[in-house]
Amino acid sequence: MDRLTNTVRPYAWGSTTALPHLLGVEPTGEPQAELWMGAHPGAPSRTGRGPLNELIDEAPERELGPAATAKFGPHLPFLLKILAAGAPLSLQVHPDLTQAKQGYEAEERAGIPVDAPNRNYKDANHKPELLCALTPFEGLCGFRDPEEAARLIEGLGVDSLKPYADLLRAHPEEAALREVLTAVLCAGHDDMAATVAEAAAAAAHLGGDYAPYAALAHHHPGDPGVIAAMLLNHVRLNPGEALYLGAGVPHAYIDGLGVEIMANSDNVLRCGLTPKHVDVPELLRIVRFEATDPGILRPEASPSGEEVYETPIDEFRLSRYVLPEGTAPHDLTAPTPQILLCTAGTVRAGELALTAGQSAFVPAGEKVEVSGTGTLFRATVVA
């Protein structure tokens, strides 16, 4: 078993205080957005034996186990993070596996460099993800019912938004959502900036259900993503609750601290709330235009004390143990690779003592028992 030393990613939207508070260190004054745990080549975790990605490359079956290697290839198929949003992330959507392969191959044939700002597909993988709140957490997830979105937009009293409300009521659900998102993203820059400014002022005055959109406009003045966000479900998670985000579902995180796990991919199609590239035609090909319940997940408890967040994919499986004082040790030995992450208290995993924000990699088949007092997240795969 290996204690992990992990990289903090300083993205501009990151909180300046949430991660330092969890880790028990002094803030630097700079944003600290994500703590990465895994073998992603962009920021692999380090161990006493070397970088985790190199350990896996040297002996995939030893580290991952035969079943996981056969199913997912010689790579750790997930990336685990602690995410600390102090400002809204970009409104975005992820492709399914077929779309990712098609998009990646097309951009490779076109000779677009992988690091080009207009590149959509950095790899040929999909990127389902799960976010579990550690603090009260706010986000956007999936389309609202078109009638509900029409009422929300109409309530701002902004004349230039009335055609969007009319469109939402004039067509079947899929066509209505597609036409309005297309119209918002393709509107003239100056006209949309003026509309967003007027809508933001109205939202700030109205407050209540409109307050999140005033906040989005504060961070992204004039951005069409502010209007696009009103088409989506606004979600608040309590600690321990989670969101699963599958392919084609538009979403954005707004504020809060959480544990995030995802398939090992960088493929993102952006819809707004960002200065980065927005490829509208490709985005419209990927988005699933259907109203959905955001589907807040609560963990399913097992007799062993493991609380599992059930998802429909195999690249990752996230669960947690809430360990009260005096709990008997739990045997977590498994034939698949694991990352164990402590988020509260002190938990002993084998010979390692983990405190909040600390983590360990457990190779497939290695015996491990956990004990102590605190909260431990367990990330593995279904193989």
> So which residues are the catalytic ones?
270
> How far apart, in whole angstroms, are the C-alpha atoms of residue 12 and residue 17?
13
Could you tell me the CA-to-CA distances from 198 to 98, 206, 211, 213, 338 in Å, in that order? 41, 12, 14, 12, 50
User: Which residue bears the tokens 């497939």?
Assistant: 364
List of residues 6+ apart from 25 with CB closer than 8 A: none
Asked if residues 273 and 220 have their Cβ atoms less than 8 Å apart, the reply is yes
List of residues 6+ apart from 375 with CB closer than 8 A: 320, 321, 322, 323, 342, 343, 344, 345, 347
> How far apart, in whole angstroms, are the C-alpha atoms of residue 96 and residue 171?
27
Q: Which two tokens stand for residue 256?
A: 């809060």
> How far apart, in whole angstroms, are the C-alpha atoms of residue 308 and residue 320?
7
Please tell me what DSSP assigns to residue 210: G
> How far apart, in whole angstroms, are the C-alpha atoms of residue 244 and residue 293?
11
List of residues 6+ apart from 9 with CB closer than 8 A: 33, 34, 35, 36, 43
| Sign of the alpha-carbon dihedral angle for 65, 70, 76, 80 | negative
String of DSSP letters for 221-248: TT-THHHHHTTEEEEEE-TT-EEEE-TT
Q: Which two tokens stand for residue 131?
A: 């976010």
- Residues forming beta bridges with residue 236, ordered by sequence position: 138
